[in-house]
Structure 1
């Protein structure tokens, strides 16, 4: 028998939420058909203490892509160092590298985003 709280997750498929910092300004492109596409890279950090008690921080980089009007807005607002929250779906981009090796790269197709202002968040707390 599935747990009762499983009903809460019903209908949510392939959903990713990330909160992190932008590693560079958004890169905006136009496709051959004239659609706007914007790429951003988000860094998320995780910290823990090792056996000696030293704080260890690891950083993961996440490639994100936004299309159309959302991509245009993100292109204008997403600048290096800003904190951002994104929600979207995880996809995999296949490509051939310069040596002819087939590679697969994960990326988040952004459906929603929010720029976060740490100072305002701290003032509200």
Structure 2
């Protein structure tokens, strides 16, 4: 079975990073994707979807915290995860988010022209599958240049 998400969109706001006592951290952010179509009256309609994303890998969290900013165009690969919690009133709440495996910043921006991360792919290093996300080994971000692999 496959659980893979690929998105290209713009960050809606600067990422929020939270650090925990067990030396782990998470980076949460949203990106907007848009698609357009023509309605019955011949008018072009743009539909925007907002997606919640989370990065749990230490190396990727560090890169995201340092380089990602509101408005950046981002290519993201990950998987869908649904988690639940009890709110302050005791009600069970659910949310579905994309857990990011890798991302690539797609454009150079004037304000970040000295940004060495532009156009580079950041992904996690391969590691064994574990059910305990808080005890996983913190791997550093791997930077890859895949332009030689493109068929065009």
TM-score (normalizing by structure 1): 0.79
- Please state which structure has a larger fraction of its residues in helix: 1
Task: State the match for 2:96 in structure 1.
Answer: 106
Task: State the match for 1:71 in structure 2.
Answer: 61
Q: Report the Cα offset of residue 102 of structure 1.
A: 1.9
Task: State the match for 1:16 in structure 2.
Answer: 5
Q: How does 1:109-120 map to 2 (within 5 A)?
A: 109-117=99-107
Q: Within the alignment, does 1:26 sit opposite 2:15 as a pair?
A: yes
Count, aligned residues: 109
Gapped runs of 5+ residues in structure 2? Answer: 110-118, 120-152
RMSD: 1.9
Q: Report the Cα offset of residue 98 of structure 1.
A: 4.7
SS in 1 for 2:23: coil
8 Å Cα contact 1:36/1:69 also seen in 2: no
Q: Report the Cα offset of residue 99 of structure 1.
A: 4.5
Return the alpha-carbon distance in structure 1 between the equivalents of residues 94 and 47 of structure 2.
Answer: 23
